[in-house]
Amino acid sequence: MSDSTPTPEQPTPPPAYSAAPAQPLSPESDKTAAMWAHIGGIVGFLPSLIIWLILKDRGPRTNVEAKEALNWQITWELVYIAGIIVNTIIGFTPLWFLGILIGFVLFALWVVNIIFSIMGGVRVNAGGSYRYPVNFRFIK
């Protein structure tokens, strides 16, 4: 075959289709998602994490509030787990009775998490913003 001989055209691959970019959230949906990011903290960090990962680019309020709620949940979980570890270690020492006191403190921390999560959800639903009193900013 010489260079001047035409060759059959290579078939062109079909165009690659992708999903359309997600539409921005309406202001009401943005506020609702941000509220649920806070209230979801009652059951742990997963609701805040899921809401932040899925909706952070679709709503500015959801991005800020879900990030705040997620940072609080991470902070709270670390403190709670540390308390459980300390309580377990103390339970095997002659100071085991301090474990009862630490157990009450852990219960109080659990109640504080519920209260702060509800306060955050209510404040955001009312149109404001909520910042937890003690919160390490793991996610900037």
Q: What is the structure's pLDDT at 83?
A: 93
Residue 36 lies in a domain: yes
Q: What is the structure's pLDDT at 137?
A: 86
Which residue type occupies 54? I
Q: What is the structure's pLDDT at 66?
A: 94
Residue 64 lies in a domain: yes
Q: What is the structure's pLDDT at 54?
A: 92
| Separation between Cα atoms, residue 39 and residue 118, nearest integer Å | 5
Q: What is the separation, in whole angstroms, between the first and last Cα of the chain?
A: 63
Residue 20 lies in a domain: no
How many helices (H) and strands (E) the chain has is answered by 4, 0
What residues make up the domain containing 50? 27-125
The model carries a pTM of: 0.78
Residue 89 lies in a domain: yes
Q: Contact 23/58 with Cβ under 8 angstroms?
A: yes
Per-residue pLDDT of the chain (140 residues; tens, 9 = 90+): 555 555 567 777 777 777 667 788 888 999 999 999 999 999 999 999 999 999 998 999 999 999 999 999 999 999 999 999 999 999 888 888 888 899 999 999 999 999 999 999 999 999 999 999 888 888 88
Consecutive H or E run containing 19: none
Residue 53 lies in a domain: yes
**Domain total for the chain?**
1
pLDDT digits over 32-58, tens only?
999 999 999 999 999 999 999 999 989
| Separation between Cα atoms, residue 63 and residue 57, nearest integer Å | 7
Residue 137 lies in a domain: no
Q: What is the structure's pLDDT at 1?
A: 53
